[in-house]
Structure 1
């Protein structure tokens, strides 16, 4: 039997007592390792993180904790090559796609280390200015934020085993809150290895970082009132978390990132042949194929004027025809596999549902694979669907196929395009393409209410925009409605989730002694 990856809880490495769940190479089908959390003393694990790890982190100032993040960055950079090997083996990603996850994680950590260093040698954060409570300024109210005295539980998805950990852990650790991460099971190896390297390097206090692989059973039961939980995954599981007693009765703070039917909108001035039209085509193809479409921020709906529908269909399909799919170890392969055969089956089922109300414009699901056996590999080529009657295609606005699948939709006018984008019921991101600055600005404001991020691409930013699906630590990551209603990143705004706000009412002399940043 392959290695049973140990969990790190209670300040030590511990293996589960069960046989474990196997992790596979999704391209060649070989078993890589097993994960299991059976028999772990979860109450003791959470108590250790909360009491030992939390106390050690809170004893440090923000700039000292920023130094911890910088030390973590150095550890991860030292082992970077091994992370790429794991990503290829366990996630089936080509090198460029692995970089989105691994290098994106390291970059995000580095940013929070810089931002945290600028907060200074303080233990609490000022929240606004002091306000007098009477006519004379002798008794005032000063709001501040202090680290919550609990643990941060991360229940993560399978698609970003590196970035999914560190984009949450960076602001949590900087805030002074210990982390327990439960990675998505099918790709847990990379998360576990990163935690192992950081723990073994001894750069964090004991109890500051724990990892539990395998089943999530019992984790929510351990949460206490000052703990927080962050979940990334399906809306159904998110609903279960929200209804759990820890949240419903103990008021545990929860952040959820769930399903998201993100869109790309081509404005009427971006006719075929223009730079803006070509930018949309390029970005759609990139978002359909990066990580085989397994991104929460990937473009799922492409909204174009009805007059350019056919031209857009041909332009996008032409580029998709050049995408090679198969074994990521082959240098000619541009797009690797999905993470598992189970995920491949889910994509096929989702495609079947969407095809009932759409037509197939490009069918990469039948293309030959490179160095991969279609009977074993979890590979599928990109599929572009289409619906000229976007209003009638209800399923397109309701079903997210988590793979290399997108649907082209025709709209009548800009108001119709905005209405269609809103039919996603809340999304992480939408992108706009055009050359008319005024029209782009007006449309962006109209879309903002149902999207966590509006990514505007005009020809003047063609070489500098960061990409529709790239989540930058400087900007908000989250979205309303079906996207979960959560908020991550956004610079130092991310620290809000891990802090408690309080008002100190006192004399100016006392308030001056609070030592606030």
Structure 2
């Protein structure tokens, strides 16, 4: 390995530290050129966690919610001033177009700003009341009041490679607002952007020492440093999630854990829809967007498309026609609409997954038909969008079990709405599903039926065509997470996100004492 590429420092125990050894090399996924290296070899993780837990946590808890909100606003200003540099890093390290980089970078900044405003509204208090006081007996003198206080631990984030900016700030914003210090372990493949953002905020001095740390490279030993009042949030594969849940920190010490794992998200077109209707066109446009934004590397991307059986051929032709016009290649070329996957390893994984799906499906639009623009197929991790289809989704197994994390989706017809709902549920729990129709009654009924197996139901009708945020866009005011195979976790959802970083306790005391808490 060429070790001339710079080694990014980690920030732990209140100081910048360079890991030992050559580290892992990050490459440009389009050009194949070497960028930077990351390593946390030799770092004293126990010391670093203790510093964050003790000094960072103490300093944050001494502040009110409003003061911590002002701290988030200051961090957002720092990040905004370096925005151009982040776009350059995203293009080089993630292979994304400027539009796709914005989903990650500007999405992260928006979320940070959102929680700054939410925290300001909480005011100058250091804990939250949870509901009204309740009498313990007929005499109201003795009552019970539930309160929410920040946990006296650290928040460890083990993140995925697809959102190095948003994945950091959508977790860190509610944690810091809650008064809990953050230790972020970014996915190695795209760690550069996360590390740079943390560096800019640390260097600006807008956070207390120990409030924010970053450890790049291997995740070995991180969970061993956790203690009972710490919390852990993980985004990644179901396989790794299983390892995390079985770790002693979770199994024996009851470290609170939030998991976001695999998700076979769906799109459902209403029965009786006409092929020339606005609703049909909305479905087609959204499917194409979800397949191609960030080259399909979104945990919320549409993977299965359910349409009335009579519209299978029409949907196949319409979606394929739009996909055929998507230019793929070097994001530095202004004509390119879809950039690359994050690495050649990810390209291999997508191709292997496609082979699995093709055993049960026909190819409706072949991604191999796309000629790469300004990119060498022998070097670049670029792949064209592929639309698969099956006329017998009820007989399929792999199509309802395997998620290919790239620009791949499968079209499936249904004979009745009940059949469509049953097929969607075969995904065994997903982050999001979207329904397309112009009948409010259908949308409401379908949403209720799908809610138990999805963290979010996104309904698109002609009256909100210009307003909706998009099937795959995660907005901070709505819940992000999902049951079953999606991990069973919950993030965001406005101030609901703060619950994960707080501990609930019942204070049983006299009415006079509870009044001191602002209750009773």
What TM bracket, shorter-length normalisation? over 0.9
1:345 maps to which residue? 348
RMSD between superposed Cα atoms in Å: 0.8
Which contiguous aligned blocks of 4+ residues in structure 1 show a shift greater than 2 angstroms? none
1:500 maps to which residue? 503
Q: State how far apart, in whole Å, the 1-side matches of 2:244 and 2:489 are.
A: 13
2:288 maps to which residue? 285
**Contact kept? 2:132, 2:519, Cα under 8 Å:** no
Deviations 1:360-419 (A, max 9, x none): 000022321000000000000000000010011211100000000000001111101100
Shift of residue 270, structure 1, vs aligned partner: 2.1
Q: State how far apart, in whole Å, the 2-side matches of 1:507 and 1:365 are.
A: 72
Pick from 139, 143, 146 the counterpart of residue 136 of structure 1: 139
Matches within 5 A, 1:76-475: 76-475=79-478
Gapped regions of structure 1 (runs ≥ 5): none
Q: State how far apart, in whole Å, the 1-side matches of 2:273 and 2:136 are.
A: 56
SS of residue paired to 2:394:
coil
Q: TM-score under structure 1 normalisation?
A: 0.99
**Contact kept? 1:66, 1:112, Cα under 8 Å:** yes
2:16 maps to which residue? 13
Q: State how far apart, in whole Å, the 2-side matches of 1:17 and 1:435 are.
A: 59
Q: State how far apart, in whole Å, the 2-side matches of 1:477 and 1:297 are.
A: 9
Q: State how far apart, in whole Å, the 1-side matches of 2:274 and 2:247 are.
A: 50
SS of residue paired to 1:487:
strand
2:493 maps to which residue? 490
Q: TM-score under structure 2 normalisation?
A: 0.99
Q: State how far apart, in whole Å, the 2-side matches of 1:473 and 1:360 are.
A: 36
**Contact kept? 1:256, 1:486, Cα under 8 Å:** yes
Deviations 1:127-166 (A, max 9, x none): 0000010101100000000000000000000000000000
2:480 maps to which residue? 477
Deviations 1:414-437 (A, max 9, x none): 101100110000000000001111
SS of residue paired to 2:313:
helix
Q: State how far apart, in whole Å, the 2-side matches of 1:139 and 1:406 are.
A: 59
**Contact kept? 1:269, 1:435, Cα under 8 Å:** no
SS of residue paired to 1:391:
helix
